[in-house]
Amino acid sequence: MENSSDKGQFQRKMQTRHVVMLSLGGVIGTGLFLSSGYTIQQAGPLGTILSYLIGALVVYLVMLCLGELSVHMPETGAFHSYAAKYIGPATGFTVAWLYWLTWTVALGSEFTAAGLLMQRWFPSVNVWIWSALFALMIFLFNAFTVKLFAESEFWFSLVKVMTIIIFIILGGAAMFGIIPMADAEPAPFFSNITASGWFPYGATAILMTMLAVNFAFSGTELIGIAAGETENPEKNIPKAIHTTLWRLIIFFIGTIVILSALLPMSDASVLESPFVAVMERVGVPYAADIMNFVILTAILSAANSGLYASSRMLWSLADKKTISPWFARLTKRGVPFNALVLSMAGGALALLSSIIAPGTVYITLVSISGLAVVVVWMSISVSQYMFRRQYLREGHDVKDLVYRTPLYPIVPIVSFVLCLASCIGIAFDPTQRIALYCGIPFIILCYIVYYWTDRTKKKRGLTS
């Protein structure tokens, strides 16, 4: 599997700390630092906490499925391979392109956002100069060795994680009056959380925010992609999955509780980061500058993870001979350089479409990528269900699996149904409905392209 090229092979250089931080890096981004206030305003504090808990449950179930697959078959570009093997090659092809598109679209928006953030400190320098510099930096982090990528991602993610921990400690202390508020306000305790009633906008608001929450948790599945480049995957992958999940739950739920307790619901949706508003209330000096730096780190970390994920997906497609073998070539240091270049070009085109056609091309890309993550999670659940069935049918014993998904078949079925529910929920939200209008035709197009190219190959006498 690993040696797919005459030049080099993937190197198992990632340790547990790298894989955990890669996953956290993909998840903790602008969604938490900027959009969390909007979510609180939409569903109310308790509704938001509930939707994040349900979202965490969905992710946990999907990761339990991915754990069994990626430990048994630690492949680079993992879930595309699993879908191709256990659901069908056309589904594997579609999943890979959906996932590739998710991250390349994200690259475009992340480089723009990073350039805009630099305007705070360097208002006279053009945004695109910063965007280009950051794009070059992220490309270089990925282009040399997987070790350099993993190490850069580790430190990027560490900045975010430390910020969230400090934020939760300071916010908790202010909440209970251990440290005084900046404007001598009394300690709020939990009064703001229930000030507008338990669920001010009803249960449907929770369903609507759940969709956004699912997207906020996307990135955890990066653990599966990195399995082929992880040291001792049998031990490190399950460890990374469990460590990542409990950290995510603590970070997300802890952050939402602190934001809800220290910000009245009406103030939560302002455009300024809710983190800045809370830190200013607690009296942290230079709060806006500190958060600007942290959000910049978060964006670059997500871009770093995204370029890694999209290049490995292209490599995986080429390795399965569904696209040109040129993309399967590896450098001597085990980097799929050609796949990396195309992924970066895809990010540049997404960036361009956000400037030239934000209301048409770009909104279509964003909508497809929003739906794509949930579709990928559904494919992981189905792949694990089919894998276990086949494994038992072939006469193997479940006890021989190094890592087993518990409560089979309940876990894959429930995770699939919950993901499907959030897709159906999109149809009832007019602002998110475009994801279905764009996503479903794109999925159909992927299947058509696969079958058409497959038939063409067979006509030429080649086996796919």
pLDDT at 102: 87
Distance CA 251, CA 256 (A): 9
Q: Is the pLDDT of residue 7 over 60?
A: no
Lowest mean pLDDT: which of 189-193, 208-212, 228-232? 208-212
End-to-end alpha carbon distance in the chain: 17
Average pLDDT over residues 297-317: 90
Lowest mean pLDDT: which of 123-127, 146-150, 203-207, 222-226? 203-207
Q: Is the pLDDT of residue 185 over 60?
A: yes
Helix (H) or strand (E) segment spanning residue 453: helix 434-459
SS (H, E, C) 44-79: HHHHHHHHHHHHHHHHHHHHHHHHHHHHHCCCCCHH
pLDDT at 85: 93
Q: If pLDDT is split at 50, 70 and 90, which confidence band does 52 have? A: confident
Distance CA 193, CA 457 (A): 61
pLDDT digits (tens, 9 = 90+) for 132-165: 999 999 999 999 888 888 898 889 888 988 988 9
Average pLDDT, the chain: 84
**DSSP readout, 90-104?**
HHHHHHHHHHHHHHH
Supply angle C-alpha 22, 315, 136, rounded to 5.
60
Four-CA torsion 266, 271, 275, 277, nearest 10 degrees: -60
As given in the structure block, the two tokens for residue 64 are 């339990």
pLDDT at 79: 82
Contact between 112 and 131 (Cβ < 8 Å): yes
Q: Is the pLDDT of residue 271 over 60?
A: no
The winner for highest mean pLDDT among 33-42, 110-119, 180-189, 427-436 is 110-119
Rounded to 5 degrees, φ, ψ at 14 are -85, 130
Average pLDDT over residues 241-270: 79
Distance CA 56, CA 435 (A): 22
pTM for this entry? 0.86
Number of neighbours of residue 453 by Cβ within 10 angstroms: 14
Distance CA 275, CA 311 (A): 33
Q: Is the pLDDT of residue 298 over 50?
A: yes
Q: If pLDDT is split at 50, 70 and 90, which confidence band does 342 have? A: very high
Average pLDDT over residues 217-246: 82
Q: What b/e sequence results for 135-144 when a residue is b if at least 16 CB atoms lie within 10 Å of its CB, and e otherwise?
A: beebbebbbe
Distance CA 448, CA 169 (A): 53
How many residues make up the chain in this entry?
464
**What structural domains and CATH numbers belong to the chain?**
16-101+151-303+377-451 (1.20.1740.10)
Q: If pLDDT is split at 50, 70 and 90, which confidence band does 29 have? A: confident
pLDDT at 62: 93
Q: Which residue has the higher pLDDT, 193 or 442?
A: 442
As given in the structure block, the two tokens for residue 279 are 């830190």
Lowest mean pLDDT: which of 108-112, 424-428, 450-454? 424-428
The residue written with tokens 């903790």 in the block is 28
Average pLDDT over residues 68-83: 85
Q: Which residue has the higher pLDDT, 269 or 42?
A: 42
Q: Is the pLDDT of residue 67 over 70?
A: yes
Q: Is the pLDDT of residue 10 over 80?
A: no
